[in-house]
Amino acid sequence: MTDAAGPWLIVGLGNPGQEYAANRHNVGFMVADLLAGRMGSKFKAHKARAQVVEGRIGAPGLSSRRVVVAKPMSFMNLSGGPVTALRDFYKVPVERIVAVHDELDIDYGTLRLKLGGGDNGHNGLKSMTKSMGPDYHRVRFGIGRPPGRMQVADFVLKDFSSAERKELDYFVDRAADAVESLVVDGLERAQSTYNS
């Protein structure tokens, strides 16, 4: 019954390439990698300039949902192109798209889930919104503000600090749980559990 409406598209935002892999800006990729691991699948290249994994999340049976987990292989500020191509390829309505991304205005490790809204200066969201409007879900992963006078661009393209890395696995795991809850239980239930 759920499959009649097609899959959900979960997009982890980040920059491709090993030099960016551990950056704060790549936390969306980290969550996508964990979700793929939970589904027991490996990413495959897709013609939409993205890496994708297809599978199911949630308990087996009626409550599980078909999902496509994707990592755009363009750079962050061009994410909209691959995401729109995947949306069209898999015929996913925009309200079944979830962007997982870093968020400066939330303390490190804090999550906020929402539907629609502005891009708050985030280039990945800006590109997605320009391509398909703002009415997709967001799982916002707090990374906090840069210390002192550090530029935002420098901060997001740096790796998490050693103190942050001690808790990073836990927070990425929690963000993956929040994505699953959003898709399976709906936004309100997921918000009441994960919006801290």
At position 75, the amino acid (one-letter code) is F
Active site residue 122: no
Q: Which of 139, 9, 151 is nearest to 86 (CA)?
A: 9
The catalytic residue among 25, 46, 101, 122 is 25
Residues 6+ apart with CB under 8 A from 15: 23, 25, 26, 75, 76, 157
Residue 9, burial from CB neighbour count under 10 angstroms (0-12, 13-18, 19+): buried
What's the distance, Cα to Cα, between the start and end of the chain in Å?
Answer: 33
Q: Would you list the DSSP string of 2-32?
A: GGGG--EEEEE----SGGGTTBGGGHHHHHH
Q: Would you list the DSSP string of 118-140?
A: --TT-HHHHHHHHHH-S-SEEEE
Enumerate the active-site residues: 25
